[in-house]
Structure 1
């Protein structure tokens, strides 16, 4: 399939990103010959949820949302003759906070033109949340809490399945973000997929197909030193293709120079 755009891009509104301007991202996309981009900033975490990361910076603040939307609308007008720009969000699926997430989506749904649903937060056996991709140490804490690396993988894919099945209302995102993000530290915490785990993944892909959802093909993993593969990994990505699941490629750029990086090896043909 032809690569027309970059559908997973962050912004200066990201509390753990850079201060590169929206225009800088747009200029990079145009330089690469892309025809469209989606700004998909981390949506505010649901009301009542306590961010488990040390700096509490996993999502933008709720009071920033209106300014974020207006800023994208402004840059969209600036580049309307050269680039299609969409207003979007990367929305966290957090188990137990579905209603608060739905409330957010209902509030801004009419202005959302693209969105990704991602799992970053996992519960352990004491209902304590962990951010699975924050750091090696945090992932190690999650392994300790759940008892094994396999248990972390099992919990991750089970939570992704819950995100797909969840009722988040009319404006629920239909693109599942970086489906094998759990592999971010796989060179430190290796895991060989068992037949049972692959069956779980195949069932998840079937569910995604049945729901009519898309997959985020995310090249950021290629640049993580302990991962070095695209999300989802090549095996899962091939199975997604065989299932006929629509694919949308994204750089997960947190700085303008990352837009469109390594799209040519992301296994989209």
Structure 2
């Protein structure tokens, strides 16, 4: 890897993660001899959008944002001679809440270089919003709402393309997160949907907009997935288009820093956020 860093990292401010303090992540990164670390906590959801997961725990709460930033800044200063520490957000694109997301990004003054734009939420045909990576049971229910697993896949990629194309203002993240997250439960719910043309279009849009791609290793360790987001063949295609590949563990616990990095294609070059 060209840059020895982990650029997709969550913290104790994520209500569905561990209680590991941010400093433990920094110390874990040092133990693994990383020279860069980017915190990318889930940004609060846009105003008026109700979290669809049962425990309403998809993202950081607004009241925790100042503490998140202050703690990251303290660690940046404390460890500046040992490791580069940066702060951003993982921002949800929610169809129909674009204006609210623009306002959210302005309030956060999110650093677009160190932030990630991801799709976790879809709008089902009846208007209900759903979270695609919550649980196998919920994904099964989502399939029922859409009518087939193929229709869920189709809507996911259409929403992702819209996210990449949408003008969300100057604070829009420049990195697109785990573009095959829809495969998280693929071993349980077999799909005949061929998303190769969607991926080609998505990569073209990423290239056209000078964005980068999250090379996310979390999928390796998901029980019903077993492969990175996106798979090696897509990473190789992105690399052939000179799209920067930004490695991220998507860790929600300090012990998971850089987990799976050795499983990424060794023939490719990975870089820090640009």
Query: TM-score by structure 2 length?
Result: 0.94
Question: Hey, what's the Cα distance between the residues in 2 that align with 1:110 and 1:31?
Answer: 29
Cα deviation for residue 111 of structure 1 reads 6.0
Question: Hey, what's the Cα distance between the residues in 1 that align with 2:193 and 2:4?
Answer: 33
Following superposition of structure 1 onto structure 2, how do residues 121-200 of structure 1 map, counting pairs within 5 Å?
A: 121-194=121-194, 197-200=195-198
Could you say which residue in structure 2 is the equivalent of 1:26? 26
C-alpha distance after superposition, 1:223-259 (max 9, x if no partner): 1010000001222222212222111000000000000
Could you say which residue in structure 1 is the equivalent of 2:84? 84
Question: Hey, what's the Cα distance between the residues in 1 that align with 2:227 and 2:111?
Answer: 33
Could you say which residue in structure 1 is the equivalent of 2:246? 248
Larger displacement relative to structure 2 (73-82 or 99-108): 99-108
1:210 aligns with 2:208: yes
Following superposition of structure 1 onto structure 2, how do residues 55-134 of structure 1 map, counting pairs within 5 Å?
A: 55-109=55-109, 114-134=114-134
SS in 2 for 1:41: strand
Larger displacement relative to structure 2 (80-89 or 235-244): 235-244
Cα deviation for residue 2 of structure 1 reads 1.5
Question: Hey, what's the Cα distance between the residues in 2 that align with 1:175 and 1:163?
Answer: 11
Structure 2 unaligned runs (5+)? 269-274
Could you say which residue in structure 1 is the equivalent of 2:217? 219
**CA spacing shift, 1:112–1:207, aligned 2, 3 Å:** closer
Structure 1 unaligned runs (5+)? none
Cα deviation for residue 262 of structure 1 reads 1.4
Cα deviation for residue 104 of structure 1 reads 1.6
**CA spacing shift, 1:191–1:237, aligned 2, 3 Å:** farther
**CA spacing shift, 1:119–1:144, aligned 2, 3 Å:** same
- 4+ runs deviating over 4 angstroms: 110-113
Question: Hey, what's the Cα distance between the residues in 1 that align with 2:190 and 2:219?
Answer: 15
RMSD over aligned CA atoms reads 1.3
Query: TM-score by structure 1 length?
Result: 0.96
Could you say which residue in structure 2 is the equivalent of 1:234? 232
In the alignment, is the contact (CA less than 8 A) between 1:87 and 1:113 conserved in 2? no
Cα deviation for residue 176 of structure 1 reads 0.5
SS in 1 for 2:115: strand
